[in-house]
Chains A and B, each alone.
Chain A
Amino acid sequence: MTQQLAQDLAPQLTQFQHNRSAATTDQATGAAGTPFQPTALEKQLFAETKSAIGKWQESPANREKLASLPGMTSEELRGFFHSLLAAPEFVQMNALVDKHRSSPAADISFPLKAVSAGIDGSLVLIIGVQGSIGVAVDPTDPTNYSEDVLYASGQIEIGVGEGGETGVVVGFWNVAPIDLGGTSYGWEVEIDDFGGGYVEASYTNFNQTGFIGVSVSLDAGEEDGAEGEASYTLVWSATPIYQPPAQNYMIIKSIYCNDNSESGHDEVYFFFTIDNGTRYRYPSQGEFSMAKGDTWNAGRSIRFNSQVYVQLFDQDDTSSDDPLGSCTYTASSVPSSTTVSGSGGEYTLSAVLNPVWNAYK
């Protein structure tokens, strides 16, 4: 297990273990209703997926990549799974995904809202998960990293040091990537003349959702042992929130409204672009209502090397959002107070660079 990845995921794994334990006490009733019956198009999709996985795993270079997974950071894992879905071996599968999305209801048994790619098996060398870890994307915009999630599903074996065979698993889901989390139950889907491979339908009892999707692999993984076995799936990083390590650390402690840009309140949010690269939003969803005299204790920490470009906006339901001003912080200049203005509004940002904490002295 890599130290960075272990550190990143340790809190998640603790929660994962807690929820996984709870899941095993539930009744595996998910498949008690109507079992999943794939349409002809879906059988074709699953068969092509199985074939693509097989071709991909035949390549020595790709097997070498699989072997290198334990050394990857979470962001590298994320990139790896995205590249896997875009690999030449999966071109036909992706074409069938597009066909599925545009097909009439009679030709499909579920709407395709997420496609996942991961590795399945005994993954204790990576993050201590026995099951699957991977990425799930929106099939309408599969290369948009801001819409994806990382997931871990199956059992948890924190502290166990033995690994085992791993293989690629691809999933097709009728829920959005962010909704893959929670407890589900897997049942093998019997498909005539499928030949090899393993197709598993997943069901959840939560909110009476029922069938949530299908995963395809070459072999039944560690999580597929018993029919109806409970599995817990954790998802995270639905939007670009994670920031890679950097040389500097700053916190935008608060934002004070000297004057709002419109009558009533401004609905304030801000973007921050790190080192001319990734642009992040805070809050990641929604806004904070502010009028003259209000303070928003944002507490937004930012890792950067050379500079951070911050842009304030007033969210507007009926037209494009109104800019409220911007500023650039650099490694040599992070004023404790910076006033910006735009669209008639004026705001003061309070920030600190590389804070030294009294509690650690």
Chain B
Amino acid sequence: MGNTAFTLTQISCAGTSESGHDEVMILWQADAGMAHLFPAGRAAVSMEDGDTWSSVNLQMSFVNDCLVSLYDQDSSLDPKLADYLVSYDYTPDSMPATVTLTNPNGAQYTLTISNVSITK
């Protein structure tokens, strides 16, 4: 079985799920294994239309898939809760350099990756 590695470099926002900002956090999970939340703690990144989160620089690797989900952490709610925004499931056969994701609530985010390395 091969292995695929890549770097999630940046996230751009062209629409938020609610008025004002989304407080964006990344939850990613390779091969249904350990889930990773970034940034740690309550350090979500506030984003609105036109914003780019350019310092993500998250290195990921997987065999079958890597599910990258964005959540909006709403500090007015229970801290354990967050709102799902969008997600993309990277697979060895689907590694677009950029992918734009939307949800009907108005969220529109573009994920940019680089350094894709596929080992057979």
* Known A-B contacts A12-B36, A243-B32, A300-B67; A359 and B93 likewise in contact (beta carbons under 8 Å): yes
Check B50 for interface membership: any CB of A closer than 8 A.
no
By a CB distance below 8 angstroms, the chain A residues around B79 are 176, 178-179
The answer to whether B82 touches A251, judged by C-beta atoms less than 8 angstroms apart, is no
CA distance A287 to B72 in the complex (A): 12
In which size bucket is the chain A interface? 35 or more
Check A96 for interface membership: any CB of B closer than 8 A.
no
Check A284 for interface membership: any CB of B closer than 8 A.
yes
The answer to whether B89 touches A297, judged by C-beta atoms less than 8 angstroms apart, is yes
Output the least CB separation between B35 and chain A (Å): 4
By a CB distance below 8 angstroms, the chain B residues around A235 are 37, 40-41
Which residues A259-302 have CB closer than 8 A to chain B?
265, 283-291, 294, 297-302
* Known A-B contacts A11-B60, A283-B84, A298-B87; A74 and B65 likewise in contact (beta carbons under 8 Å): no
Output the least CB separation between A354 and chain B (Å): 9
* Cross-interface CB contact of A8 among B34, B85, B105, cutoff 8 Å: B34
CA distance A232 to B43 in the complex (A): 13
Check A334 for interface membership: any CB of B closer than 8 A.
no
The answer to whether A179 touches B34, judged by C-beta atoms less than 8 angstroms apart, is no
* Known A-B contacts A176-B80, A265-B104, A297-B88; A284 and B27 likewise in contact (beta carbons under 8 Å): yes
The answer to whether B41 touches A179, judged by C-beta atoms less than 8 angstroms apart, is yes
By a CB distance below 8 angstroms, the chain A residues around B120 are 359-361
Report B33-50 CB contacts with A as 1/0, cut-off 8 Å. Answer: 111111011110000000
By a CB distance below 8 angstroms, the chain A residues around B71 are 283, 285-286
By a CB distance below 8 angstroms, the chain A residues around B87 are 283, 297-299
The answer to whether A359 touches B2, judged by C-beta atoms less than 8 angstroms apart, is yes
By a CB distance below 8 angstroms, the chain A residues around B92 are 357-360
Q: How many A-B residue pairs have CB under 8 A?
A: 143
The answer to whether B2 touches A285, judged by C-beta atoms less than 8 angstroms apart, is no
In which size bucket is the chain B interface? 35 or more
Check A309 for interface membership: any CB of B closer than 8 A.
no
CA distance A19 to B40 in the complex (A): 9
The answer to whether B34 touches A301, judged by C-beta atoms less than 8 angstroms apart, is no
Check B103 for interface membership: any CB of A closer than 8 A.
yes
Closest to B116 in A: A359
By a CB distance below 8 angstroms, the chain A residues around B31 are 249, 301, 303
* Cross-interface CB contact of A359 among B4, B59, B60, B83, cutoff 8 Å: B4
Check A236 for interface membership: any CB of B closer than 8 A.
yes
The answer to whether A237 touches B103, judged by C-beta atoms less than 8 angstroms apart, is no
Output the least CB separation between A284 and chain B (Å): 7
Check B97 for interface membership: any CB of A closer than 8 A.
no
Report B98-116 CB contacts with A as 1/0, cut-off 8 Å. Answer: 0000011100000000000
CA distance A289 to B18 in the complex (A): 13
The answer to whether B103 touches A285, judged by C-beta atoms less than 8 angstroms apart, is no
* Known A-B contacts A182-B42, A265-B104; A11 and B83 likewise in contact (beta carbons under 8 Å): no
Give the interface of B toward A (CB within 8 A): 1-2, 4, 27, 29-38, 40-43, 58-61, 64-65, 67, 69, 71-72, 79-85, 87-89, 91-93, 95, 103-105, 118, 120
Residue pairs across A and B with Cβ atoms less than 8 A apart, 16 shown, are: A11-B61, A12-B36, A15-B36, A15-B38, A74-B34, A176-B79, A179-B41, A180-B41, A181-B37, A251-B89, A289-B103, A298-B87, A299-B67, A299-B87, A359-B4, A360-B1
Extra inter-chain contacts (9) besides given A14-B59, A182-B41, CB under 8 Å: A235-B40, A242-B34, A251-B89, A301-B65, A303-B32, A355-B64, A359-B4, A359-B92, A360-B120
Give the interface of A toward B (CB within 8 A): 7-9, 11-12, 14-15, 19, 74, 147, 176, 178-182, 206-207, 232-238, 241-243, 249, 251, 253, 265, 283-291, 294, 297-303, 355, 357-361
For the complex of A and B, 9 pairs with smallest distance between CB atoms: A299-B89, A286-B84, A181-B40, A182-B41, A283-B84, A359-B92, A360-B2, A181-B41, A241-B35
